[in-house]
Amino acid sequence: MKHHRTAISLFSKAECKGFTPSLFTLNILINCYCHLGNMFLLSILGKILKMGCQPDIITLTTLLKGQCINTNVREALVFHNDILTKGFQLDEVSYGTLIDGFCKIGKTSAALELLRKMETGLVKPGCITKAEAIVGRMMKSSIKPDVISYSALMDGYCMMNNVDESKKVLNRMKSDVLPDVSVTVS
């Protein structure tokens, strides 16, 4: 429905009447500013911290998304690095947001590099579905998974004792990935 301006206006009116927002409410407000292309959203992070709250994974991912939506992907990556050094943990959705942002600005090599960095921690029992979703998004964005991506998926399925699914990924890899062979003609 995209009533971002209305939501921001209602929030301002409620705040003037003494309304104390929750983290959930502030996350919604951050999302509204993201979609309007307004980088005021970082000041809301300041408000969250002043209230004595800790931003949750939704807050952090929404802030990353806001920067990516507004083609500030490099700033999003700086923010990502900053929050990691401060001890915050990100999840697959957070990384998928950054990867999507890089793909949308044509920086597919940076997206693949980020994917490779996160793969080792991503594919563990219980996370294989999310890993499949990320590889699916890559393919929809015309980014072909490489041997590393497919190997991580196969490893995840094997760790879950799902050898049949691992074999399916192997067969898909055989048809999708060309061998890395250099041919010299003299």
Q: Residue 105: count other Cβ atoms within 10 Å of its Cβ.
A: 14
Residue with tokens 């959705």: 93
How confident is the model at residue 120, as a pLDDT? 61
* pLDDT value, residue 13: 93
**Is 65 exposed, middle or buried (CB count within 10 Å of its CB: 0-12, 13-18, 19+)?**
buried
Query: pLDDT tens across 111-123, in order?
Result: 888 887 776 665 4
Inter-residue contact 151 to 145 (CB < 8 Å): no
Q: Are the C-beta atoms of 61 and 93 separated by less than 8 Å?
A: yes
Q: How far apart are CA 63 and CA 114, in angstroms?
A: 18
Residues whose CB falls within 8 Å of the CB of residue 95, separated by 6 or more in sequence, listed in order:
114, 115, 118, 122, 134
Low-confidence ranges of the chain (pLDDT < 70): 1, 39, 119-129, 178-186
Please compute Rg for the chain using Cα positions.
20
Q: Six-digit token pair at 52?
A: 């004595």
pTM: 0.62
* pLDDT recorded at residue 119: 67
Which pLDDT score, from 0 to 100, does residue 179 have? 53
- H-helix segments, 86-107: 92-104
Which pLDDT belongs to residue 183?
Answer: 37
State residue 181's pLDDT score. 42
- Give the model's pLDDT for residue 17: 93
- Asked if residues 34 and 61 have their Cβ atoms less than 8 Å apart, the reply is no
